Amino acid sequence: MRHTTGWQASGGGGLRRASLVRRDLRADDIAVRVDYCGVCHTDLHAVAAHPGPGSPPVVPGHEFTGVVTATGPDVSSFDVGDRVAVGNIVDSCGTCDPCRAGQENFCRQFPMLTYGGTDRHDGMTTLGAFSREYVVREGFAYHLPDGLDAASAAPLLCAGITVWEPLRALDVGPGSRVAVVGLGGLGHLAVKLAVALGATTTVITRSKGKADDARALGAHETLVSSDPEQMAAARDRFDVVLDTISAPHELRPYLHLVAMDGTLSLLGHLGTVSVDVLDLLIGRKHLSSAGSGGRPATAELLAFCARHGITADVEVLPSGRINDAFDRLERGDVRYRFVLDLADLDAAR
């Protein structure tokens, strides 16, 4: 077994430094020195829900970049020293229809998650990348393109792919009218990607003060959702509305903005929602969602971002400040994604 150091849930919503064990490399595995890992709302929720001692361990972190330090004997895509990126899916059955279609995120046997999942081979609970080393199958790791900063590229592997898949599935491009609801970790990347795809892009926000931020990200316009006149004037206007709000909320105001045959895609809050069918019927509107992405789409996203110089807007913190990051994330005090620098774990060994 391989030994490393990371940040593990201790119960009560906090993380503590802990010694961790990684599996020995299987034939198609690579070992990655984790340099940077983004902090997602999913991490916050997973730690808050952890009941403490006696429960399966939780080590969060599922959007990370680093360097290959070792390879299994059958690895052909990576060499030691390669820059690498890994997201929130690290294995799948590979044989079901979605997997064969390159949509491992919809694996019928459920994809193996970077943390909190069950290893398909040994049954162990997967531990995430708030740690100095991660071991992963080479097929679920991606070359980090030259020119992409390793820290600000890390959130592309979760927040980025989450918004990229619906943009591609809904054929967004020149002439498309896209609205992005919410300007957080997902929303700010949705704006950058939609603009780069050629869409006329509008940010929908409760605050008039976000207009300058939206413009700096490339948005063509800002729509204030708390202004009834602005919302009424934008009725039936957008081909695609990407809703990145993470908290429960009413969908009706955003469905009213969708044009005929357009789509409202729910990407932030994935819980129970209530919909009046008439809001879909009038205008033949569609309601959809998306989660993560398959391997082809993830590789495509990284290549697209390299061509267009797109990364997340991040605040990098030493990993020892993870509990501070969680506190601030819960308050919404981040613009737009925290990223942990894991180098400080070397001194902890």
Q: Let me know whether 84 and 179 are in one domain.
A: no
What CATH number has the domain bearing residue 122?
Answer: 3.90.180.10
Tokens standing for residue 8: 């593990």
What's the CA gap between 138 and 135, in Å, rounded? Answer: 9
* pLDDT given at position 13: 64
What's the CA gap between 59 and 132, in Å, rounded? Answer: 12
What's the CA gap between 57 and 59, in Å, rounded? Answer: 7
Q: Let me know whether 24 and 85 are in one domain.
A: yes
* pLDDT given at position 54: 75
Residue 153 contacts residue 35 (beta carbons within 8 Å): no
Which of 239, 273, 289 is a domain's end point?
289
What CATH number has the domain bearing residue 263?
Answer: 3.40.50.720
Beta bridge partners of 151: none
What's the CA gap between 29 and 128, in Å, rounded? Answer: 16
* pLDDT given at position 348: 52
Residue 35 contacts residue 317 (beta carbons within 8 Å): no
Among 198, 188, 197, 114, smallest CA distance to 156 is for: 188
Please state at what angle helix 295-308 crosses helix 185-196, rounded to 10 degrees: 70
* pLDDT given at position 56: 86
Per-residue pLDDT of the chain (349 residues; tens, 9 = 90+): 899 999 999 776 689 999 999 999 999 999 999 999 999 999 998 998 888 777 889 999 999 999 999 999 999 999 999 999 999 999 999 999 999 999 999 999 999 999 999 999 999 999 999 999 999 999 999 999 999 999 999 999 999 999 999 999 999 999 999 999 999 999 999 999 999 999 999 999 998 888 999 999 999 999 999 999 999 999 999 999 999 998 899 999 999 999 999 999 999 998 999 999 999 999 999 999 998 999 999 999 999 999 999 999 999 999 999 999 999 999 999 999 999 999 999 975 5
Residue 290 half-sphere exposure toward CB, CA atoms < 13 A = 26
Residue that the structure tokens 């469905």 belong to: 255
Q: Let me know whether 189 and 272 are in one domain.
A: yes
Among 92, 64, 30, smallest CA distance to 156 is for: 64
Q: Considering its fold, how many domains does the chain have in total?
A: 2
Residue 192 contacts residue 183 (beta carbons within 8 Å): no
Q: Let me know whether 108 and 9 are in one domain.
A: yes
Among 180, 255, 244, 185, smallest CA distance to 218 is for: 180
Query: Is residue 308 domain-resident?
Result: no
Domain that holds residue 30: 2-157+313-348
Q: Let me know whether 167 and 145 are in one domain.
A: no
Query: Is residue 307 domain-resident?
Result: no
* DSSP secondary structure of 44-68: HHHHHH---TTSPP-----SEEEEE
What's the CA gap between 97 and 104, in Å, rounded? Answer: 9
Q: Let me know whether 273 and 321 are in one domain.
A: no
